[in-house]
Chains A and B, each alone.
Chain A
Amino acid sequence: MTPAHPVPVGDVALPARPRRSRWSLGVEWIIESAVRLSGVSAIIFVLAIFAFIFREAAPVLVSEQFDPLEFLFSVQWYPTSAVDIRYGTLALTVGTVSVTLLAMVLAVPFGLGAAIFVSEFCGRRTKEALKIVIELLAAIPSVVWGFIGLTVLSRLVVEHTSAPVGVNVLNGGIILALMSVPIIVSIGEDALKAVPDSYREAAIAMGATRWQLVFRVLLPAAKNGLLAAVLLGTGRAVGETMAVLMATGHAVQIPDGILDSVRTLTANIAAELGEAPAGSDHYRILFLTGVQLFAITFAVNLAADLVIRGTKRK
């Protein structure tokens, strides 16, 4: 895009740059295209993944076995029944939503609180140490979290509650909260750091206390970034598979409380897809639950987007 020849500005010619070779121009073009491609690739990948999942799921939508109302609103999940095959996913959806909600109830206050503490309140050294530890926490693989849920946490849950079995909504929620806190903290901290220092200086100059500074100035200013942090945490919780497979008990039922076991959409796909014969109704229904997951995350993101726009307009 930059012309190879010196461009006269007014009547003063710029000092002539050495003429660039064809080779150098070619390389520049390649690099430019590569950068553009990687920018667009995110969109391509999302569309391609959605198209693939939908293509695998689509044939079942027209099969006479499939009843959309049963799929969405029945709790009867009997994909391999010998007498009456039923594909109702309500219990699975409720499972995903309940575990995610509990995780967010636990993780958002802790995550945002930690982000504020790290960004505004603690000293330089504590800050560095905390950031390293938090990043380390984010690096723990989900199967390890699942293992902790299955062994350590399930025992604690049984000891301290009346739950008959330690793998349930509470266990899964705590594990997911622990997994999403690091994401919320590091992105939330970035959002707070991005608030210009002049805001802080102005607030302090007006005689605001630290508390007032945080609540009246920083939180409103960093609102979008903080919401993004919470959303990414939620996304992690909704999509997490291995840890919830191990920690929630994998039981198809609508939970009466947080001490009941549930099964989530993701865990169900992980447990059943490997054995479902490719191309069978069961296989396609599992892909359809993938579309459902996609729809849930899409709805969460869209809602947040609308909220942000709505608050901006005011």
Chain B
Amino acid sequence: MTTSARAVVHTGVWVCLSACLGAFAGCRPHAEGAAIQNKGSDTMVSVAQAWAEAYQKVVPGVAVEVSGGGSGTGIASLIRGTVHIANASRDIKPAEAAQVLHNTGKEPKDFKVGYDALAVFVHRLNPLEAITFEQLAGIYREDGAFTHWGQFGLSVPGCKRDEIVRVSRQSSSGTYEFFRERVLSNRDFKLGSLDLNGSKEVVELVANTPCAIGYSGMGYATSGVKMLKVAMRAGEPAYAPTVEATWQQTYPIARSLHMYTLGEPTGIVRDYLDWVLSNAGQRILEESGYVPLSRDAGAERR
């Protein structure tokens, strides 16, 4: 009795094991068969991964392998010819384009896939309406002199100690780097800001804190916060962060997001880029907190 029972258990275990192995083996041919290598911008890594995951369901046979490293890293890989698509949150430099042509014999082809626009948030009761880059640098930059709302001639209701609570992002985030590059001219942030780990967290904290100011993707705005109009310099017009202003490139803390390929893409790479630019792909982009290319994409959410 016991021996036969043991035998049954053994067989059971083996059946399970082989079934598991079989399941793994079943996945492998696809992954080896067709994989698109996609590398570059850290800002775009989250949306690139969201695209790759969703595309698995659209075309199950094609795997998109995404990695970050920065826009420069992505373009460097394109120059070496080791990736199909390079993600970049800036335009390719003429020198880089020349290198791509020299090394691979093909022109880099630019696909603009969306926009990244940051909004500056304050608490909804804060009377401030507009802010300049200079003032933002005064608040956020290492050598900045603004520490209290009184320095703006404001009294913020509910802000007991009048102190400006700076809300920022962790230093590895692309949003942090973009803000540093564009607004602080690449100088360092003042220490002591609350460095949060997500775009949504920034908006939530600002909504709960009358003294706070923060920056995050404009797609994360809620009713608890106010988005400030932003001007490049004092005296110049300040623009509200809207999708339209982003499209017209009048809103100053916005940039376009690019995907570069080697020459005119064909086959699965072409299909993938077409899908990224389709309404389905653009909706995923918008859900990740970015601004889609045109009005009809993502229209269902607005």
B-binding residues in A (CB < 8 A): 75-84, 91, 154-155, 158, 162, 164-167, 245, 249-253, 261, 263, 271-272, 274-277
Contact = CB atoms under 8 A, between A and B. Distances in A.
A83 B193 contact: no
B161 interface: yes
B287 interface: no
Contacts, number: 78
A271 B197 contact: yes
A256 to B, nearest CB: 10
B161 A75 contact: no
Given A252-B191, A261-B194, A165 B205 contact: yes
B230 interface: no
A167 B42 CA distance: 28
B205 A164 contact: no
27 contacts: A75-B191, A76-B191, A78-B188, A79-B171, A80-B171, A82-B180, A155-B208, A162-B160, A164-B212, A165-B209, A165-B211, A165-B212, A166-B209, A250-B170, A250-B195, A251-B192, A251-B194, A251-B195, A252-B192, A252-B195, A253-B191, A261-B194, A271-B170, A271-B195, A275-B42, A275-B172, A276-B172
Nearest to A155: B208
A80 B208 contact: no
B165 A165 contact: yes
Interface residues of B, number: 30
A78 to B, nearest CB: 5
A45 to B, nearest CB: 29
Contacts of B172: 80, 271-272, 274-276
A275 B177 CA distance: 13
B181 interface: yes
A158 B161 CA distance: 12
B47 interface: no
A154 B180 CA distance: 29
B187 interface: yes
Contact of B163 (A84, A164, A249): A164
A81 B188 contact: yes
Interface string B197-219: 10000000100111110000000
Contacts of B209: 158, 164-166
B186 interface: yes
A154 B208 contact: yes
| Most A C-beta atoms less than 10 A away, residue of B165, B194, B211 | B194
B162 to A, nearest CB: 9
Given A250-B196, A272-B171, A275-B172, A164 B186 contact: no
Given A165-B209, A252-B195, 14 more contacts: A78-B188, A80-B172, A82-B186, A84-B188, A158-B208, A162-B161, A164-B212, A245-B197, A250-B196, A250-B197, A252-B191, A261-B192, A271-B170, A275-B173
B105 interface: no
B69 interface: yes
B159 interface: yes
A80 B170 CA distance: 10
A95 to B, nearest CB: 11
A165 B161 CA distance: 10
Contacts of A261: 192, 194
| Most A C-beta atoms less than 10 A away, residue of B173, B180, B195 | B195
A76 B142 CA distance: 11
A243 B288 CA distance: 26
Q: When A and B form their complex, which 8 residue pairs have the shortest distance between CB atoms, in order from nearest?
A: A275-B172, A253-B192, A164-B211, A80-B171, A82-B186, A252-B191, A249-B194, A271-B170
Contact of B159 (A76, A77, A164): A164
A251 to B, nearest CB: 5
Contact of A83 (B42, B186, B208): B186
A67 B1 CA distance: 71
A253 B188 CA distance: 15
A164 B165 contact: yes
A261 B208 CA distance: 15
Contacts of B212: 164-165
B208 A164 contact: no
A293 to B, nearest CB: 19
A69 to B, nearest CB: 18
Nearest to B70: A277
